[in-house]
Amino acid sequence: MSTGAVVSQLPWMWLVSRASGVMLLVLFSAVFVLGVSTRLGTRLRSMPRFAVAELHRTLALFSVALLVLHVATAVLDPYVSIGWWAAVLPFAAHYRPLALSLGALAVDLGAAVLITSLMRKRLGPRLWRTVHWLAYASWPLAFMHSLTAGNDMSIWWVAALVWGSGSAVALAVVDRILFAKQSRTGVIQPPDPPIRREPANCTGVRS
Amino acid sequence: MKSPLVLRIDRIRCDGRGTCAEVLPELIELDHWGYPIIANGSVPRDLERLAIAAVELCPKMALELKAAEEGARSVSDRTDEPL
Amino acid sequence: MNPTELFNQRASDEATSRTRRLLAPDPWASAGLATHLKDHGALEHHPTSERWRMGMLGEIERAGLVGHGGAAFPTGQKLRAILDHRRKPFVIANGTEGEPASMKDRVLLARAPHLVFDGAALAASLVGADEIFIVVHHDVRESVDLALAERREARLDRVRFRVMTAADGFVAGEASAVVNWVGRGVPIPLGKAPRMTERGLGGRPTLVHNVETLAHLALVARHGAEWFREVGTAEEPGTMLVTLAGSVVSPGVFEVAIGTRMSDVLDLAGGPSAPIQALLIGGYFGTWVPAPVALSAPFSTAGLGVGLGAGLIVALSTTGCGVRETARLVRYLASQSAGQCGPCSFGLPAIAEQLEFLAHGMPVRFDDLTRWVTEIEGRGACGHPDGVARHIRSALDVFGDEVSEHLEGRCSASERRASLTIPMGEPL
């Protein structure tokens, strides 16, 4: 058989869907950890703290793009019948309904977080914050979806990535709980020294 | 000619996260407990973009920029009601 | 009492009889509706007549009446501000009296509630409101309810009154805190809020007046601006209720003409009970004034150089310790923070702690203390930190010598107990 024929017989959609799924879990976990870091005020290398917040937002938006790819390839894949509705409605799929329902719920919560974040100015901080807390729920749903939607956990490095991401998130959650418990007395952290910077007409700051 | 801008802060929303002071140390410094002390007066032209960034990056959305003419006379907007 | 004292008493009675406007001479006189109508006559208003309303507003402005809740804001101006809005406003009569040492609002509501009701009804007619909330201290709730029942029976008012008990706490008396209390049951000041006269209760323009202001209003409406200006000074006309406390023979609430000599004002309470070192004028947010300056000065903002606030005058004797009083007071004020803003919630307790160290003669971070006092000003959502800062600055100034003593670990006071009343406060 020629290379071309082999290649054309590969189930592309399915492969891309699985690959993007793994990447998505890793990315989403990174977004989660960065979100907690933002809240805790931890610093990343020598980046100022607001840059951590920016990174969190940027990666979150990127993962939305990746999510679109993941869902689209899963739906368009000819081998398994999954309708578009299954992406947002639980119990709408016939293929692995539990796994896909978990995924759909994660997408729903994620969409709520995304929309409220984009419309933050108009919705006000309280509504935004309430919805943003849903993000804490969307990660476990995505994680469970990862475990049940495919068979790739048998590949050692996929399992490593998945469990590694899970550990990172678990640590972040513990950090968040500890932070919430400590009461605020006295100085929380000394204020950061001023950022050394070129004259203020340089770029690097969004307007 | 655009009118000068004034930074205004909602002291109740502010939680002392300190993002604003990181972005705009020329106008904002933090007190002993991490809460911002904002310089009075309008924002200098060359710092306006940073001021806008500070407003957008505040995690509690406690900052805003207002035109100086709108009676935005000082940083803290309070009613003048007596105690 | 020997004859000389009796003579002095009568002389001061005569001098003050002209100033007995809000409060009847006899403290035990009936506060009922019949007596009120006999003493003052009925008050007519014509809410539908634009001419009457403009005329009355002009009269109030000419009288130069200002608010008696502490900020002395011109009453006419506040009324006019409300007129600019089309939505039907609310009127709130603020008798919260969050200031713990002040008693004047309670005394007024107990002895002359109908003047307050009259004033509130008048204000409502002027601004087109038909619903009035009367927020009163729980001590006088019953008296006010009785007064309202009398008025309802006599069908005296066209507007609807609702009496509410005020919340406890120092900041509960602040205007936006009262609005918050009436509307949402939460007695803390609103923050970045538009003026009450624009958007207050239920989003509607809200007129908040101290009950004493309303009582004065009721009399200005009857007797006119000239009458009102017959006593007092040209810039600060009229009478005002003061609470005299501390080292005076008979502390209490008295009505004085603004501009009266301070020593005469103290005589209303029987005079000082001991030599005085300083007077606290205005309230717990007020300013200390040294006795030699204060006692010969007229009781007015112009005369004393400080705002008269809510009319509290506390006399501190030479045997007392100004540093100790200040420390106690600031600790109390720190506990009364609404806790909404960082600089106030964290700064005030830290400042209070340093003042307590100072009062005990222990090592103090004095530079930090003075820096923090400067820093809290203007960095809260309400005037609470500003009031505390102003008070502390005046205390550090007036009691400067005592402060120096304390910095060296000594205290020159002989009196062990503090004289300022602090609710549930621990004496130092």
The pLDDT tens digits of the residues spanning C94-131 come to: 999 988 889 999 999 999 999 999 999 999 999 999 89
**Pairwise CA distance, residues C59 & C61, whole Å:** 5
Nearest-CA distance B80 → chain A (Å): 25
Q: If you average pLDDT over residues A113-133, what whole number do you get?
A: 89
Residue ranges per domain, chain C?
23-228, 239-317, 322-407
Residues of chain A numbered 116-175 and touching chain B (CB < 8 Å) = 120-121, 124-125, 128
Q: If you average pLDDT over residues C384-401, what whole number do you get?
A: 93
Handedness of CA C11, C14, C19, C22 (dihedral sign): positive
Confidence category of residue A1, pLDDT binned at 50, 70, 90: low
CB pairs A-B closer than 8 Å: 60
Spatial CB neighbours of A177, under 8 Å, sequence gap ≥ 6? none
In C, what residues contact B, Cβ < 8 A?
A: 67, 69-73, 98-99, 170-171, 173-176, 190-196, 208, 210, 283, 285, 310, 340-343, 346-347, 350, 368, 372, 375, 378-384, 387
Contact check, Cβ <8 Å, B83/C191: no
Residue with the larger pLDDT of the pair C4 and C286: C286
Question: Does the CB of B80 have a partner CB in chain C at under 8 Å?
Answer: yes
User: Which residues from chain B sit within 8 angstroms of residue C308, using beta carbons?
Assistant: none
Q: What is the pLDDT of residue C6?
A: 43
CB pairs B-C closer than 8 Å: 99
Confidence category of residue B67, pLDDT binned at 50, 70, 90: confident
Q: If you average pLDDT over residues C222-232, what whole number do you get?
A: 92
C239-317 is classed in which CATH architecture? Roll (3.10)
**Pairwise CA distance, residues C81 & C127, whole Å:** 10
Q: Would you call C286 helix, strand, or coil by DSSP?
A: coil
User: Which residues from chain B sit within 8 angstroms of residue C170, using beta carbons?
Assistant: 83
Q: Is A4 a domain residue?
A: no
User: Which residues from chain A sit within 8 angstroms of residue B50, using beta carbons?
Assistant: 200, 205
**By mean pLDDT, which of C40-49, C233-242, C263-272 is the weakest?**
C40-49
Spatial CB neighbours of A26, under 8 Å, sequence gap ≥ 6? A161, A165
Nearest-CA distance A68 → chain B (Å): 27
Chain centroid to CA C244: how far?
A: 12
**Pairwise CA distance, residues C244 & C107, whole Å:** 13
Of B16, B21, B52, nearest to A207 by CB-CB distance is B52
Confidence category of residue A194, pLDDT binned at 50, 70, 90: very low
Distances from the Cα of C28 to the Cαs of A203, C24, C110, C245, C251, in angstroms? 77, 9, 10, 21, 17
Task: Give the residue among C173, C189, C213, C223 at the shortest CA–CA distance from C73.
Answer: C213
Contact check, Cβ <8 Å, B83/C193: no
Contact check, Cβ <8 Å, B83/C98: yes
Q: What is the pLDDT of residue A7?
A: 61
Residue with the larger pLDDT of the pair C9 and A152: A152
Q: Which residue of B has its CA nearest to C210?
A: B82
Contact check, Cβ <8 Å, C381/B74: no
The parent domain of residue A78 ranges over 9-171
Q: Would you call C246 helix, strand, or coil by DSSP?
A: strand
Q: Is A138 a domain residue?
A: yes
Give the position of tokens 């003075």.
Answer: C370
Question: Does the CB of A187 have a partner CB in chain B at under 8 Å?
Answer: yes
Q: Does the pLDDT at position C11 exceed 90?
A: no
Confidence category of residue C277, pLDDT binned at 50, 70, 90: very high
- What are the tens digits of pLDDT across the range C201-210? 888 899 999 9
Task: Give the residue among A178, A13, A135 at the shortest CA–CA distance from A80.
Answer: A13
**Pairwise CA distance, residues C373 & C205, whole Å:** 35
Q: What is the pLDDT of residue B73?
A: 46
Contact check, Cβ <8 Å, C380/B79: no
Q: What is the pLDDT of residue C428?
A: 30
Question: Does the CB of A91 have a partner CB in chain B at under 8 Å?
Answer: no
Q: If you average pLDDT over residues C88-93, what whole number do you get?
A: 93
Q: Does the pLDDT at position B79 exceed 80?
A: no
Convert A59-96 to b/e letters by CB count within 10 Å (16 or more is b): bbeebeeebebbbbbbbebeeeebeeebbebbebbeeb
Q: What is the pLDDT of residue C233?
A: 92
What is the third-level CATH fold of B5-69?
Alpha-Beta Plaits (3.30.70)
Q: What is the pLDDT of residue A80?
A: 81
Q: What is the pLDDT of residue A3?
A: 65
Q: What is the pLDDT of residue C192?
A: 55
Beta bridge partners of C74: C66
Per the prediction, chain A carries an average pLDDT of: 82
Q: What is the pLDDT of residue C24?
A: 82
Please name the amino acid found at residue C400.
G
Spatial CB neighbours of A36, under 8 Å, sequence gap ≥ 6? A172, A173, A175, A176
**By mean pLDDT, which of A51-55, A137-141, B74-78, C201-205 is the weakest?**
B74-78
Q: Which long-range contacts (CB under 8 A, 24 or more apart) does C46-54 make?
A: C46/C125, C47/C124, C47/C125, C47/C126, C47/C128, C47/C158, C53/C125, C53/C126
Give the position of tokens 């923090």.
Answer: C372
Contact check, Cβ <8 Å, B83/C387: yes
Pairing of strands C90-95, C131-136: parallel
Handedness of CA C84, C85, C86, C92 (dihedral sign): negative
Residue with the larger pLDDT of the pair C49 and C389: C389
Confidence category of residue B68, pLDDT binned at 50, 70, 90: confident
User: Which residues from chain B sit within 8 angstroms of residue A207, using beta carbons?
Assistant: 49, 52-53
User: Which residues from chain C sit within 8 angstroms of residue B31, using beta carbons?
Assistant: 343, 347, 372, 375
Residues of chain B numbered 22-41 and touching chain C (CB < 8 Å) = 31-35, 37
**Pairwise CA distance, residues C130 & A30, whole Å:** 59
**Pairwise CA distance, residues C406 & C48, whole Å:** 64
Six token digits for residue C37: 């109508």
Give the position of tokens 């924002």.
Answer: B43
Confidence category of residue A113, pLDDT binned at 50, 70, 90: very high
User: Which residues from chain C sit within 8 angstroms of residue B17, using beta carbons?
Assistant: none
User: Which residues from chain B sit within 8 angstroms of residue C176, using beta carbons?
Assistant: 79, 81
- What are the tens digits of pLDDT across the range C128-181? 998 999 999 999 999 999 999 999 999 988 899 999 999 988 888 888 899 999
Nearest-CA distance B72 → chain C (Å): 12
Contact check, Cβ <8 Å, B83/C176: no
Question: Does the CB of B2 have a partner CB in chain C at under 8 Å?
Answer: no
What is the third-level CATH fold of C23-228?
Rossmann fold (3.40.50)
Neighbour-count burial of A9, counting CB atoms closer than 10 A to its CB (0-12 exposed, 13-18 middle, 19+ buried): exposed
Count the alpha carbons within 13 Å of C147 in the hemisphere toward its beta carbon. 27
The count of structural domains within chain A is 1
Q: Is A193 a domain residue?
A: no
Q: Is A203 a domain residue?
A: no
Of B8, B33, B76, nearest to C342 by CB-CB distance is B33
Q: Would you call C402 helix, strand, or coil by DSSP?
A: helix
Q: What is the pLDDT of residue B7?
A: 93
- What are the tens digits of pLDDT across the range C54-66? 999 999 999 999 9
Q: Is A157 a domain residue?
A: yes
**Residues C311 and C243: beta-carbon distance below 8 Å:** yes
Please name the amino acid found at residue B23.
V
C322-407 is classed in which CATH architecture? Up-down Bundle (1.20)
Q: What is the pLDDT of residue A190?
A: 40
Q: What is the pLDDT of residue A191?
A: 41
Beta bridge partners of C43: none
How does DSSP classify residue C310? T
Neighbors of chain A by Cβ distance (3+ pairs < 8 Å):
B
Contact check, Cβ <8 Å, A206/B21: no
User: Which residues from chain C sit within 8 angstroms of residue B73, using beta carbons?
Assistant: none
- Which percentage of chain B shows pLDDT scores above 90? 55
Nearest-CA distance A121 → chain B (Å): 8
Nearest-CA distance B40 → chain C (Å): 11
Contact check, Cβ <8 Å, B81/C210: no
Task: Give the residue among C254, C248, C207, C256 at the shortest CA–CA distance from C94.
Answer: C207
Contact check, Cβ <8 Å, B22/A206: no
User: Which residues from chain B sit within 8 angstroms of residue A194, using beta carbons?
Assistant: 25-26
**By mean pLDDT, which of B20-29, B47-56, C36-45, C195-204 is the weakest?**
C195-204
Contact check, Cβ <8 Å, C379/B11: yes
pTM: 0.80
**Residues C219 and C189: beta-carbon distance below 8 Å:** no
Of B11, B32, B34, nearest to C381 by CB-CB distance is B11
Nearest-CA distance A96 → chain B (Å): 39
Residues of chain B numbered 59-78 and touching chain C (CB < 8 Å) = 74-78
Interface residue of A43, A49, A50 to substitute, partner B, most B CBs within 10 Å:
A50
